[in-house]
Amino acid sequence: MFQGPYWMRSVDASGLADVAVVIASYNHAHFLGDALKSVLAQTVPAQDIVVIDDGSLDDPAAVVAQHPPARIIRTANQGLPAARNNGLAAINTHYVIFLDADDVLLPGAIADGLACMKANPGAAFVCGAFRLADGDLKPRGGPVLPRLGPLGHTALLRGNHIGMPASVFYDRAKLVECGGFDPTLRRCEDYELYLRMTQRHRIASHANVVAHYRLHGSNMSLDAVEMLAWNRAILERYRPDETDAAALQAWKEGMHGQTAAFANIVWTDRGARAWPKWNQRRRMMALAPWTTTKAALRQILVRGLPGPLAEVLRGIRRRALIAGAGKIDFGDLARITPVSEGYGFRRGTPVDRFYIESFLERHAGEIRGHVLEIADDKYSRRFGKDIVRQDVLSVKDVPGATIVGDLTSEGLLPPASFDCVILTQTLQYLFDPRAAVRNLHAAMRPGGVVLATVPGITPVVNNDWEWYWPFTARAARRLFEETFGEGNVELEVNGNAFAATCFIQGIAQEDVGVQWLEPRDPSFPVNIAIRARRSA
């Protein structure tokens, strides 16, 4: 989705993006060359590259001199948050990325950040995915994606799902407005900044991998107990008011979830790799005894099972915790453009088709005799029973059409002829749907039925036909009862909040599973189904 440069106010005449990359280095000169090479290899080059030497005992200046046009600023040792703030004060670009000296960016990092910003105007920052890598930068495992659901402060209270600072692409002015990084923090300063910025601003994410996080044995994040202590301290700082029940619940989930996550981390290694963690395990037991005990028992039980069975149990647990796990990353929903254009056809079966086809299947016994369908006869063939004659109405002369014309034209349809008309997703394209319904009524035999569906909450796509109307249940009922009479019209309102979100975003049935679509909530009418019968 997010490919190619962002040309609006982001690339100057020389082809440089309006982006700075700030690299903080403290005794990491031996890694710094890789970081600088990754910045210089960007498909859309950065306008400014600044290395902050935070009082290193090695010689980062010699490395920077080999990688022009990067520049270096030397300061006394003040810590990582202050080093990043010093870099922030030294730049004047529209956007900024903070890269640690031991990590690297992938070539599309700047282009992906610019494109995501374009798709989400006004965002304070956007974030992408990253991969863990070994000391030689060989990837370990798949992408780590930002899974934030509805992006914002409440979601971040549940945990720092962003994970890696270099995966974040900031609007510099908004970052400065929020005060930059907190220099009093020794750990998790990035998490604290995300929480602070999302109190004021909207953020977004994309699924492209933009960085590699190098694991080399001395990463600050390897001390799970220390990381947990700082995470909990930061969450205490942002405890919501008792009056905000949703945020408070998210905060409680975050406090519990992060404790469980870090407790699990100290129990993941075994054999020779487990020995360095025994001290962490002892400290974690003192910090969170019950959670640590559960983590230990879980790991011991799973390790004792055969591999396939252990994986089955992990899968059951994942699905119990996250409905539809792995089918779609709902962090992608925090965006201006949808996940997929065109209702979801590009991903599979559109959500509204579940309701349309379920409606027709329930009324299959009435699709019989002389049947008329709009555009083609696919539903007649699929659900019809004892059809003796099939007609297809199309506004254009296309193969298979037996009646050509506009449904609003009086006299187009033969009077009192049809036992059933299948009219799915058609009335929104007719400027005068009342005329169409009157013509249908006149064309029905006594006792004949119209099986119609109309859109409610929907994207509006004008590729082939001009779109005029979405409908509410009240409008659909009144439209048909005016002609067919009050006792001859039945309505079904199909959809719920989740289904409406999916349909607007172009998320397909295959992404989510129909069990999420089945519950009906009339407040979210994705599709309205009408059965109208002509009086005998």
Report the pLDDT value the prediction gives residue 286, as an integer from 0 to 100. 59
C-alpha dist (Å) from residue 71 to 47, 67, 81, 209: 12, 9, 19, 26
pLDDT band at 309 (very low <50, low <70, confident <90, very high): low
Same domain for 216 and 346, yes or no, is no
Whether residue 241 lies inside any domain: the answer is no
Report the pLDDT value the prediction gives residue 488, as an integer from 0 to 100. 97
pLDDT in tens, 209-240: 999 999 875 555 556 667 777 888 899 999 99
pLDDT greater than 70 at residue 481: yes
Report the pLDDT value the prediction gives residue 335, as an integer from 0 to 100. 74
Report the pLDDT value the prediction gives residue 355, as an integer from 0 to 100. 95
Task: Pick the range with the lowest mean pLDDT from 145-154, 278-287, 324-333, 471-480.
Answer: 324-333
Q: Which of 190, 220, 250 is the endpoint of a domain?
A: 220
Domain that holds residue 351: 342-533
How many residues in the chain? 536
CATH code where residue 514 lies: 3.40.50.150
Residue 332 or 385, more confident: 385
Same domain for 386 and 516, yes or no, is yes
Domain count along the chain:
2
> Which helix H or strand E contains 169, and what residues bound it?
strand 168-171
Q: What rounded mean pLDDT belongs to the chain?
A: 84
Report the pLDDT value the prediction gives residue 384, as an integer from 0 to 100. 93
Percentage of the residues of the chain whose pLDDT score is greater than 70: 79
Whether residue 346 lies inside any domain: the answer is yes
Report the pLDDT value the prediction gives residue 455, as an integer from 0 to 100. 96
pLDDT greater than 60 at residue 303: no
Q: What angle do CA 163, 169, 170 make, to 5 degrees?
A: 110
pLDDT in tens, 174-212: 999 999 999 999 888 999 999 999 999 988 888 889 999
Q: What is the mean pLDDT of residues 73-98?
A: 97
Whether residue 317 lies inside any domain: the answer is no
Q: What is the mean pLDDT of residues 78-99?
A: 97
pLDDT greater than 70 at residue 402: yes
Whole-angstrom Cα distance, residue 509 to residue 290?
A: 40
| Of the ranges 245-254, 259-268, 466-475, the best mean pLDDT one | 466-475
Whether residue 51 lies inside any domain: the answer is yes
Q: What is the mean pLDDT of residues 113-142?
A: 88
3-state helix, strand, coil in the chain (%, to 5): 40, 20, 40
Report the pLDDT value the prediction gives residue 224, as an integer from 0 to 100. 65
| Of the ranges 57-61, 116-120, 214-218, 503-507, the best mean pLDDT one | 57-61
Query: Residue with structure tokens 């999420």?
Result: 516
* pTM of the complete model: 0.58
Report the pLDDT value the prediction gives residue 293, as an integer from 0 to 100. 61
Residue 120, φ and ψ in degrees, nearest 5: -135, 65
C-alpha dist (Å) from residue 209 to 95, 101, 333: 19, 18, 17
Report the pLDDT value the prediction gives residue 196, as an integer from 0 to 100. 96
Query: Residue with structure tokens 């998210």?
Result: 250
Whether residue 257 lies inside any domain: the answer is no
Q: Which of 220, 236, 264 is the endpoint of a domain?
A: 220
Report the pLDDT value the prediction gives residue 507, as an integer from 0 to 100. 87
Whole-angstrom Cα distance, residue 468 to residue 503?
A: 19
Whether residue 308 lies inside any domain: the answer is no
CATH code where residue 83 lies: 3.90.550.10
Same domain for 211 and 353, yes or no, is no
pLDDT band at 338 (very low <50, low <70, confident <90, very high): confident
pLDDT greater than 50 at residue 8: no
Helix then strand count (H, E) for the chain reads 18, 16
- Determine contact, residues 84/190, Cβ cutoff 8 Å: no
Same domain for 347 and 216, yes or no, is no
pLDDT greater than 80 at residue 249: yes
Whether residue 439 lies inside any domain: the answer is yes
pLDDT greater than 60 at residue 315: no
Q: Which of 161, 195, 220 is the endpoint of a domain?
A: 220
Whether residue 328 lies inside any domain: the answer is no
- Determine contact, residues 190/184, Cβ cutoff 8 Å: no
- For the residues of 117-132, what is the DSSP string, one character each? HHHSTT-SEEEEEEEE
Residue 404, φ and ψ in degrees, nearest 5: -115, 125
pLDDT greater than 80 at residue 419: yes
Residue 186 zone, left/alpha/beta (φ > 0; ψ -120 to 50; rest):
alpha
